[in-house]
A = this chain, B = another copy of it.
Amino acid sequence: MRKPRLMTPGPTMVPEDVLLEMARPVIHHRSAEAKQVIAEVLSGLKEVFQTRNDVLILTSSGTGAMEAAVVNTVPPGGKALVLNAGLFASRWGNICRAFGIHAVLLDTEWGQPVDPARVAAALERHPDAVAVFGTLSETSTGTGHPVEAIGRVVAKTPAVFAVDGISGVGAMECRTDAWNIDLLCVGSQKALMLPPGLAFVAVSPKAWARIDAFAPPCYYFDLSAARDRIQQFDTPYTPAHTLILALRAALRRIRDEGIEDVWARHTRMSEACQAGVQALGLELFSSRPAEGMTVFRVPEGLRDTDIRDKLVERFGLTTVGGQGQLKGQVIRLGHMGYTDELDVISSLAALEMVLSDLGLDIEPGAAVTAAQQVLLARTVAGSR
């Protein structure tokens, strides 16, 4: 017997009741019932995103939402600032280049948070940059970036602030309106507890003014067309609406728990996981870990695949390795969405056993105990 435990930073585990929504007979996407589902889903997404802005539903991967944010706000030949601090941040630059946009890369060492003061300086050097592309939670490094502080900087300029919130939103605090995020991009397969296939963009009035200022070279990802339709609880093209039906069920779960409590749960899981990993003598990769995942360096003398394959074989526990320049160097353990504190504890217990098996000098129970101590302290201090 092997129970599947999908502890990756996306896709993530989907609650059983949400899975069953997808097994219901397909309805027509222009029916009154479908519109009612979209209306409820929009209201739930706005609560999760903490926004009163328009929220648009795209049938695509999260990358589609990023492309939409780029092509709708920066004309070909225009200039944009990319806060380049990881593999997914660099995707902003790649999208810009594909569409003939001049991407100014503000490089930050992988694993470090972006410095808002450097963003301010870069925008002074490039006053003609019409957009800033940043990241809430960099999935390749497990780093959370100071989006609130960066938002304050960008808000003082004419540039719009677009944030890849794909693996962050729903797992860590993100207040779209209060933090001056003009375009928030989100994917379905992370903390929203859905399979992949849907993406979302929240668009501020400042962003709409930019979008309306030119005719963007796009069709499928034309946000103006999506805005016209969403006002009637509809989409320009047939959406993946079994996923939208499932999203309603997932959002009801988030509403019942309360978004602030969802964030707090992720903070507890993150701190417990960090403590556990460090108790094993492992080194965290990021100096400012994102709440939805824990990324640690592969211990010397071992290969990441040795550890990860054993986790799957013995415990059905799926993690992911490093990407790009981090290939082979880190292991990324996700804990977001339909994940609770015991999932983190059992992942740490599995890690202890596997590392011990592989010959590391591991004290059995050390990681679990360290995590429990964090959770116990948190419960006493933060109990409601």
The chain A residues found within 8 Å of chain B, CB to CB, are 4, 6, 8, 10-14, 19-20, 22-31, 59-64, 67, 76, 94-95, 98-100, 187, 189, 195-197, 217-222, 236-243, 318, 320
Q: Contact partner of A26 among B14, B27, B76, B238, CB < 8 A?
A: B14
Q: Which residues of chain B are within 8 angstroms of A28 by Cβ–Cβ distance? A: 6, 8, 11, 318, 320
Would you call B189 and A238 a contact (CB within 8 A)? yes
Considering the chains assembled together, what is the distance between the CA atoms of A64 and B58 in angstroms? Answer: 11
Considering the chains assembled together, what is the distance between the CA atoms of A64 and B220 in angstroms? Answer: 6
Would you call B196 and A241 a contact (CB within 8 A)? yes
Q: Contact partner of A23 among B23, B26, B62, CB < 8 A?
A: B23
Identify the 3 closest CB pairs spanning chains A and B, nearest first.
A197-B240, A61-B237, A22-B22
Considering the chains assembled together, what is the distance between the CA atoms of A32 and B13 in angstroms? Answer: 18
Considering the chains assembled together, what is the distance between the CA atoms of A98 and B214 in angstroms? Answer: 12
Q: Which of A60, A63, A67, A320 has the largest number of chain B CB atoms within 10 A?
A: A60
Q: Which residues of chain B are within 8 angstroms of A217 by Cβ–Cβ distance? A: 76, 98-100, 217
In the complex with contacts A197-B59, A197-B242, A25-B4 CB distance below 8 A: yes
18 A-B contacts (beta carbon < 8 Å): A10-B238, A11-B28, A11-B29, A11-B238, A20-B23, A22-B23, A28-B318, A31-B318, A59-B64, A59-B196, A59-B197, A60-B64, A61-B238, A98-B218, A98-B219, A98-B222, A195-B241, A197-B240
Task: State how many copies of this chain the complex holds.
Answer: 2
Q: Which residues of chain B are within 8 angstroms of A11 by Cβ–Cβ distance? A: 26-29, 238, 241
Considering the chains assembled together, what is the distance between the CA atoms of A354 and B31 in angstroms? Answer: 20
Considering the chains assembled together, what is the distance between the CA atoms of A189 and B239 in angstroms? Answer: 10
In the complex with contacts A59-B59, A219-B67, A220-B64, A196-B25 CB distance below 8 A: no
Q: Which residues of chain B are within 8 angstroms of A238 by Cβ–Cβ distance? A: 10-11, 61-62, 187, 189, 196
Question: Which chain B residue shows the least CB distance to A68?
Answer: B220
In the complex with contacts A6-B28, A217-B100, A242-B64 CB distance below 8 A: no
Add 20 more A-B contacts to A61-B220, A100-B217 (CB < 8 A): A8-B28, A14-B25, A19-B24, A22-B22, A22-B23, A29-B196, A59-B60, A59-B61, A60-B64, A62-B238, A63-B236, A94-B219, A95-B219, A99-B219, A195-B243, A196-B241, A197-B197, A197-B239, A240-B240, A240-B243
Q: Which residues of chain B are within 8 angstroms of A61 by Cβ–Cβ distance? A: 59, 220, 237-239
Q: Which residues of chain B are within 8 angstroms of A187 by Cβ–Cβ distance? A: 238
Q: Which residues of chain B are within 8 angstroms of A19 by Cβ–Cβ distance? A: 22-25
